[in-house]
Structure 1
Amino acid sequence: MAALLFVPAGTRSWWQAWTFLAVYFASSLALTLYLIKEDPALLQRRMRGGPTAEKEPIQKIIMLIASLGFVGLLVVPALDHRFGWSQMPPYMTLAGNVLVGAGWLAIFFVFRENSFAFATIELAPDQKVISSGPYALVRHPMYSGALVMLLGMPIALGSWWGVLVVAVILPALIWRLLEEEKFLAENLAGYVAYRNSVRYRLLPWVW
Structure 2
Amino acid sequence: MIFSSPLAGFLHRVWQRSSVVVVGRATDVPPPGLSWVTVARPVGARSSLEAIEPALRRLGGMAGLVTLGAALAGIGHGLRRAGVRQTGGPGVAIGPLSLTAMTAGSLAASAILWHGLPIALGPGARALAAGAGGTALFSGLGLYLSGMAALGPAYNVSSTFGARLYQDQRLVTSGPYAIVRHPMYAGLMIAAVGALVLYRTWTTLAYVAGLPVLIARARREDEVLADRFGAEWEAYRDRVPAWIPRPRLSGVALEAAPTAATEGARRVARPQRLFRLRS
TM-score w.r.t. length of structure 1: 0.66
- Answering whether residue 197 of structure 2 is matched by residue 155 of structure 1, we say yes
- Provide the residue aligned with 1:178 in structure 2: 219
Count residues with an aligned counterpart: 188
1:196 aligned partner, one-letter code:
D
Give the partner amino acid of 1:45: G
Cα distance in 1 for residues equivalent to 2:173 and 2:166: 17
- Alignment of 1:87 onto 2:129: no
Distance 1:163 1:99, change over 3 A: same
Which is bigger in relative contact order (C-alpha 8 A, separation at least 6)?
Answer: 1
Alpha-carbon shift at residue 150 of structure 1 (Å): 0.8
SS in 2 for 1:123: strand
Please point out which of 209, 229, 240 is paired with 1:168.
Answer: 209
Question: Which is richer in strand?
Answer: 2
Q: 1:45 aligns with which of 58, 78, 85?
A: 78
Residue from 112, 130, 141 that aligns with 2:183? 141
What RMSD in Å do the two structures reach over aligned CA positions? Answer: 4.5
Note the residue ranges of structure 2 that are not aligned, 5 or more in a row: 1-7, 20-25, 28-49, 81-85, 248-279
| CA 1:156–1:191: 2 relative to 1, 3 Å | same
In structure 1, what is the Cα distance between the partners aligned to 2:116 and 2:211? 21
Which ranges of structure 1 fall in alignment gaps of 5 or more residues?
Answer: 48-52
Deviation string 1:92-119 (CA, Å, 9 cap, x unpaired) is 1232122111112112221232211212
Aligned AA for 1:80? G
In the alignment, the residues of structure 2 paired with residue 164 and residue 2 of structure 1 have an alpha-carbon distance, to the nearest angstrom, of 13
Structure 1 runs (4+) deviating above 3 angstroms are 2-7, 11-19, 30-33, 40-43, 53-60, 67-76, 161-167
Offset from partner CA, 1:136-156 (integer Å, 9 cap, x none): 111111111111111111211
Counterparts in 2 of 1:71 and 1:146: CA distance versus 1, 3 Å: farther
1:98 corresponds in structure 2 to 135
| 1:2-151 aligned within 5 A | 2=9, 5-6=12-13, 13=26, 19-26=56-63, 28-29=65-66, 44-45=77-78, 56=89, 76=113, 78-80=114-116, 85-88=118-121, 89-115=126-152, 116-120=154-158, 121-151=163-193
- Quote the residue 1:203 is aligned against: 244
Mark the CA change 1:69 to 1:20 in structure 2 (over 3 Å): closer, same or farther.
same
SS of 2:165's partner is coil
Q: TM-score, normalised by structure 2?
A: 0.51
Structure of greater Rg: 2
**Sequence identity (%):** 21
